Structure 1
Amino acid sequence: MSARVPSNFLLVPGPWRRPGEVVEALKARGVDAHAAWDEPIAAGQVRVDVIEDERLGSGFARGRSGPLPSELVERVAACRRAALVEIGQTLDADPTSVAEVGRALRDAGGLAVRLEASGVASPWKPWLELLSSGGASELCELSVCFVRDEDDAFFTCGMHGFDLPDAEIIAADAEIAIDWLDALSVYQLAEQPALASGHTFRPYAEAAPRVLERWPDHRHHPEDGRYNPFGVWRLLPEGVSRLEARAHVPTIVPPLVAMLTAAERSAKRALTREEVAALVSEASAIALEPRHIREMERSRGYADIEPELAWEQWQVVRETL
């Protein structure tokens, strides 16, 4: 089996009608591109499809910082087709090469760009400037958005563009919530820490640390480009802690989520709490450092559920099956 290659998708409205037109336009500008096909993408590869959507204008109405220029949105709305460009890498692996693809698409008639991992749309100029900087803060600004959910829950969307979990926090003050989420996003990308449930985080020295707990992404279906297979860090309320931070974490192999999926399909019904608990207690596990767990997750392309929270987290996962 070939190694997994992460990828990111750009959506670019433009004058093209067929993938071949985009491929030729990119090649003419020095980008080696190919029409999309069903095989897994290779590292560094650029693949192109063309989609037709009469609602492109609404999908490009807002960016991370607010509404896009009305004149640009009107031009996008008048366009019925967009290039869907897949690039075989995380956004931080080689930002310069992603910027080269972006400039080629712009020069070929692309009106604007949207990252499908977050749905964040942007005019070309600020997008290319942020991408070309290559800094963690700029890359997060480029690709990650903040969303307010019901019950004062704020969450990020788009961190899987870097093979990293998103984050969420419950707070009454939007500015405070965004400070926490932005700091955690940039910290993950800049430092690449080997985090695990039970670890703590704070955005600045004066803040009281909050415990991290990783949960599956319950807001997006796996077929939605915004779905994060690496889950979401929940920043628990101050003083709340349920899982112990460990230097070596018991890790079930094969992944618990795969075992539960197979067991439920075999039973042809939903598993009971007792059955889930029995599978967890009987499963084989090895003790791994968090950094090795992260490597394993990136290799297979998703995070497992927490054994100590198996019942609750399995209910989240099974809703997407």
Structure 2
Amino acid sequence: MSASQPRPSIILCVPGMWSSRTELIEAIARSERGYLYAGQILMHAPTRQAFELEFHAHDPRMADAFRAAGPHWRDTPAMNAIGQHASVVYLIGPGGFRGDAHALMLAAAALLDAGGLGVKVESSGVAHSPDDWRALCTDIHLFSAHRAYVLYITGPQVYSCGMHNLGLRDAIIENAGTAAAVELLRVFTRYLVIESPTLLAGQTFSTENGAPVYRLHDDPGPDHGDNSLYTNPWGSWRLVPISMDRTTRWSGLRTAMRRLVS
């Protein structure tokens, strides 16, 4: 990310059973992750990392919002608990770098330990149960931030949303088969996170030798509307299928992709 590019914010929503801000302050102080809450700042005392933390009263829309953003755990006791929340906090910090995204994940885990009921990534639209979020935090070294922040939207086009939280472009493709398109984008965006490659428009790649080949094109990405938290300031890579030319030498990118999925 260049110095001239805007830095997006990461916003994480955590509903909880705290009846007051004072109760939240006390619950955070009792947790064992080393965080303190004062004013509107949540600070990790050992590292001095600080984030904005807003406290709000019960929100009657919260249960529906979590069900829409977390369909994979919709019919679980953890999801049902969201509807019983007493208050909601919003954890806000800078995105655009992997280290900052990781730090916010750990801060949200501290809020879960203090009585939070789940985590919804407002800057992409995916929600996670407490157990799943804690597991993602445990596996940060395995690039779990990709699963924490990124989801895939299906329709006439299939596209990723949330890569800007990590400082990377999203990806988009015409939908010629939803399941295959989602898997292609999942592999491609995970590759971006793991390898941090330098990509150029016009490069080609494939997930493995003999699989369909795609050419990369610059794309502004989907129009999420003015001031949307989903908007990626770096745009997207559009993946356009091309005919397989078996006489063409595989590029370094395609070779790296084969290593990733092998």
Tell me the TM-score normalized by structure 2. 0.75
From 131, 137, 140, give the equivalent of 2:146: 140
Unaligned runs of 5+ in 2: 42-47, 244-262
Matched pairs, number: 233
Instruction: Within 5 Å, give how 1:1-16 maps onto structure 2.
Output: 7-16=9-18
Unaligned runs of 5+ in 1: 38-42, 240-321
Classify the secondary structure of the residue corresponding to 1:185. helix
Contact 1:136 1:186 (C-alpha < 8 Å) held by counterparts: no
Classify the secondary structure of the residue corresponding to 1:60. helix
2:50 matched to which residue of 1?
45
Larger Rg: 1
1:190 aligns with 2:213: no
| Partners of 1:143 and 1:64 in 2: CA distance | 12
Distance apart, 1:215 and its partner CA:
1.8
| Partners of 1:186 and 1:121 in 2: CA distance | 19
Classify the secondary structure of the residue corresponding to 2:99. coil
1:75 aligns with 2:81: yes
User: Residue type matched to 2:50 in 1?
Assistant: Q
Classify the secondary structure of the residue corresponding to 1:205. coil
Distance apart, 1:120 and its partner CA:
0.9
- CA separation of 1:49/1:80 partners in 2, compared to 1, >3 Å: closer, same or farther? same
- CA separation of 1:81/1:216 partners in 2, compared to 1, >3 Å: closer, same or farther? farther
Instruction: Within 5 Å, give how 1:49-128 maps onto structure 2.
Output: 49-52=54-57, 53-62=59-68, 66-79=72-85, 81-89=87-95, 92-93=98-99, 97-128=103-134
1:314 matched to which residue of 2?
none
Q: Which structure has more RCO (C-alpha within 8 Å, separation ≥ 6)? A: 2
| Partners of 2:200 and 2:5 in 1: CA distance | 24
Query: Per-residue CA shift, 1:56-106, capped at 9, x if unaligned?
Result: 011111556624334333321233631000134557316764454233211
- Which deviates more, 183-192 or 217-226? 217-226
Distance apart, 1:211 and its partner CA:
1.2
User: Residue type matched to 2:17 in 1?
Assistant: P
From 207, 214, 228, give the equivalent of 1:210: 214
Instruction: Within 5 Å, give how 1:179-258 maps onto structure 2.
Output: 179-239=183-243
Instruction: Within 5 Å, give how 1:228-307 maps onto structure 2.
Output: 228-239=232-243
State the identity %.
26
| Partners of 1:3 and 1:220 in 2: CA distance | 19
Classify the secondary structure of the residue corresponding to 2:108. helix
- CA separation of 1:70/1:208 partners in 2, compared to 1, >3 Å: closer, same or farther? closer
From 143, 163, 169, give the equivalent of 1:165: 169
2:251 matched to which residue of 1?
none
Contact 2:73 2:79 (C-alpha < 8 Å) held by counterparts: no
Query: Per-residue CA shift, 1:241-263, capped at 9, x if unaligned?
Result: xxxxxxxxxxxxxxxxxxxxxxx
2:247 matched to which residue of 1?
none
User: Residue type matched to 1:205 in 2?
Assistant: N
The structure whose residues are more often strand, as a share, is: 2
| Partners of 2:211 and 2:240 in 1: CA distance | 14
Distance apart, 1:185 and its partner CA:
0.7
Classify the secondary structure of the residue corresponding to 2:109. helix
Classify the secondary structure of the residue corresponding to 1:66. helix
| Partners of 2:135 and 2:222 in 1: CA distance | 33
Contact 2:95 2:101 (C-alpha < 8 Å) held by counterparts: no
- Which deviates more, 167-176 or 61-70? 61-70
